[in-house]
Copies of this chain bind each other. A is one copy, B any other.
Amino acid sequence: MEQEIDLKKVAVKDDFWSPRQTLISKVVIPYQEDIMNDRIPGIEKSSAITNFRIAAGLEKGSFYGMVFQDSDVAKWLEGVAYSLAIRPDEELEKRADEIISIIARAQQEDGYLDTYFILKEPGKQFTNVQECHELYCAGHMMEAGVAYYETTGKDTLLDVCRKLADCIDRHFGPEEGKLHGYPGHEECELGLLRLYEATGEERYLALAKYFITRRGTQPDFFKQQFEERGGKMFWEGGFQNPDYYQNHAPVTEQTEAKGHAVRCMYLYSAVAELARLTGDKDLTRACETMFRDVTKRQMYITGGIGQVARWEGFSFDYDLPNDTAYAETCAAIGLVFFAHRMLKLSPRGQYADVMERALYNGVLSGMQLDGKRFFYVNPLEVNPDLSGKMPGYEHVLPQRPQWYACACCPPNVTRLVTSLGKYAWDDVRQETSAPGSLPGVIPSADAARRIIYSHLFLGGAADFDDIKISEETEYPWNGEVQYTIAKTPASPWAFAVRIPGWAPGAVFSICGSSEIHLAEIPDAGTSGSGITSFARIDADGMEIQAGRKDGYVYFYGEWKEGATIHISFLIRPRLTYANPKVRADSNCAALEMGPFVYCFEGIDNGQDRGILLQELRIPQDMRYKITDIREGKLQGLKAVDFTGEYLSFSPDDVPGSSPSGTAGSEEEPLYSSVKPSVKKIPMRAIPYFAWGNRGIGQMRVWMPKE
């Protein structure tokens, strides 16, 4: 079985992520703490902590907030746990301990814990699991409890979660007299599986499995409860269609991503986790099918998912409108979770590629560069006359708002970014014959016990007890990555490095050996069989065998301490095309560089002269220049500059290019049999995640391409 990565042992230290982790520790976490404590004037009241205090008998009052208000506290605590691991803070830990003690006091005798029902609807517990988020909140609390235990060693919250899980286990299950239900918003499955891994309690695994496999079967539990409630819905205009909840078919029979995107991702993350823990092949296949539908047919190039605002969820294959995209930050995070679980199930570069795509684009875009404002919705095109204003575009804000009543996204960004180390590495030991745990890449069966995977390129160091590796890189701006093996056992082991799917190639050198090109390393492809052919690298007296499979290069051998593995791939602007089945991207291209999707903002592209982004076009031959941005909000990022084309029906020159030029003469035709005139114009693209940091303007990712 795969080892859970200990966050304290995988230090991230690089110029891109370290400042972001610090920003989150120093700005976002305290800011959210203030909000949960209702200490920020002008922001909608949260009452999240107060609710627990009231439930704990420490204060008088009544519940306030969303039915899932508790989850804010749970997600914050999970983020705090990770933050404490990467950046110890005694004061913060003390405050978190205090909140945990309140939570413990709020917990009921029987283990039940949900302040909404405790305070507002006592006696109605578990009567509307479809809509009321009790199991969702519980799942988040379990994730927080495990995380806090893992990083601080303190078990107060873990014990709360065990009692809570036991309570849920007494109420739900296949046995007669129990509720034959499952969460309306999936999350408890993930919490239970994590609790199982932390505690070894098989009942938690069994309950997660019950939730996952009961879902989508008949009779429809949600419908039963709906009828038992006399046909009342909790939410006005709440969703009754089963596919909103992924409840239209058993998870093994779902072939298309449907309904609420975050729900779907949390569910299938749990399915993948369960598949890994049990070795269930049907569950594995179901995950592969779902992953394929999402990423090959319903994912924005940014890793954003969920095209439809009304249900914050999926549409249908190849329907990827840019200007009405929902692409919730939490859904991209959910995709990171899902891809990460798929990667643990089966180490394939495609999973890491998707994980990285979502992380650097659709997730990061959720947060303003200063960490003070957040997007829920991450469109790929914004037009200020339309976005946030016109019917169907109300949800597409051209600027990040301060905070939301439903504060799901910011703490989700927090917990992901602070725990990033967990996503970067894997330490695989083939102790069992569990399928998928080893790709069969090692030449000597006897020695095929250990593989260290490097999935993402984060500077820092990783400590796997007998193996220690440090990593130096300027990634994502630069494709030079150097690993140094600081500690190694005498026995041979494999070091596996992902080669990003977008990289045009790569060059390797071990301990300064002569360079070996990716193409020289035999590729076993994506087949089920292992690597059978290897390149041999003689380096500093070590004999290393190199083989490729599924997007990873495996270096296998008896390593020496101090050995270096240098990997180098080109990070240069590249144009990407969408499948022609995608209506919205017809005749367009997107610009990418390294893991970043780039975008075009009006502010860089003639907006002040009245030029609209749709009037610009990427030329046939794009000769670019990469520019370091040295000042302003985008300082530290790299822009891509090139000479583009300005298309116009106006007889005038490019607006603003000459003093007499008058743009948009009234008499220019709306339709013409003459093609628009084409003139040269400078164009600039910036990383998508950084859009909307310089005021309101137009933005688009997909640009017309000659």
Interface positions, chain A 289-303, Cβ under 8 Å from B, are: 292, 295-297, 299, 301
- A404 to chain B minimum Cβ distance, whole angstroms, is 21
**Cβ–Cβ contact B673 & A577, under 8 A:** yes
User: Known interface pairs A587-B704, A648-B580, A649-B580. Does A666 touch B392 (Cβ–Cβ under 8 Å)?
Assistant: no
Stretch at the interface among A2-10, A382-390, A445-453: A382-390
A643-670: contact bitstring with B at CB < 8 Å (1 yes, 0 no)? 0000111000000000000001011111
Say yes or no: is A632 at the interface (Cβ < 8 Å to chain B). no
Closest to A574 in B: B673
Q: Which residues of B contact A615 (CB under 8 A)?
A: 580-581
**Cβ–Cβ contact A577 & B385, under 8 A:** no
**Cβ–Cβ contact A296 & B574, under 8 A:** no
Closest to A677 in B: B580
Closest to A612 in B: B581
Give the copy number.
2
User: Known interface pairs A310-B391, A390-B315. Does A575 touch B673 (Cβ–Cβ under 8 Å)?
Assistant: yes
- Please classify how large the interface on chain A is, using the bins under 10, 10 to 19, 20 to 34, 35 or more: 35 or more
**Cβ–Cβ contact B295 & A670, under 8 A:** yes
Q: Which residues of B contact A582 (CB under 8 A)?
A: 614, 670
Say yes or no: is A502 at the interface (Cβ < 8 Å to chain B). yes
**Cβ–Cβ contact A319 & B385, under 8 A:** yes
- Specify which of B308, B617, B670 is in contact with A579 (CB 8 Å cutoff): B670
- A699 to chain B minimum Cβ distance, whole angstroms, is 13
User: Known interface pairs A587-B586, A647-B580, A666-B296. Does A385 touch B316 (Cβ–Cβ under 8 Å)?
Assistant: yes
Say yes or no: is A672 at the interface (Cβ < 8 Å to chain B). yes
Closest to A647 in B: B580
**Cβ–Cβ contact A671 & B578, under 8 A:** yes
Say yes or no: is A583 at the interface (Cβ < 8 Å to chain B). yes
- Specify which of B324, B578, B617 is in contact with A392 (CB 8 Å cutoff): B324
Interchain CA distance A586-B588 in the complex, whole Å: 9
Q: Which residues of B contact A664 (CB under 8 A)?
A: 581
- A287 to chain B minimum Cβ distance, whole angstroms, is 15
Q: Which residues of B contact A614 (CB under 8 A)?
A: 580-583, 586
Say yes or no: is A240 at the interface (Cβ < 8 Å to chain B). no
A666-685: contact bitstring with B at CB < 8 Å (1 yes, 0 no)? 11111111111000000000
- A136 to chain B minimum Cβ distance, whole angstroms, is 24
Say yes or no: is A127 at the interface (Cβ < 8 Å to chain B). no
**Cβ–Cβ contact B577 & A672, under 8 A:** yes
**Cβ–Cβ contact B390 & A301, under 8 A:** no
**Cβ–Cβ contact A502 & B670, under 8 A:** no
Interface positions, chain A 395-431, Cβ under 8 Å from B, are: none
- A501 to chain B minimum Cβ distance, whole angstroms, is 9
Say yes or no: is A309 at the interface (Cβ < 8 Å to chain B). yes
Interchain CA distance A676-B315 in the complex, whole Å: 24
Interchain CA distance A576-B385 in the complex, whole Å: 26
Q: Which residues of B contact A648 (CB under 8 A)?
A: 580
What are 7 A-to-B residue pairs whose CB atoms are below 8 Å? A296-B666, A577-B675, A579-B668, A579-B669, A582-B614, A582-B670, A587-B704
**Other 6 A-B pairs with CB < 8 A, given A296-B670, A582-B670, A583-B612:** A310-B391, A576-B672, A579-B649, A579-B668, A580-B647, A587-B705
- Chain A residues close to B by CB (< 8 Å): 292, 295-297, 299, 301, 308-310, 315-316, 318-319, 324, 383, 385-386, 390-392, 502, 574-583, 586-588, 590, 612, 614-615, 617, 647-649, 664, 666-676, 704-705
- Nearest first, the 6 closest Cβ-Cβ pairs linking A and B are A587-B587, A392-B392, A580-B647, A310-B391, A583-B614, A580-B615
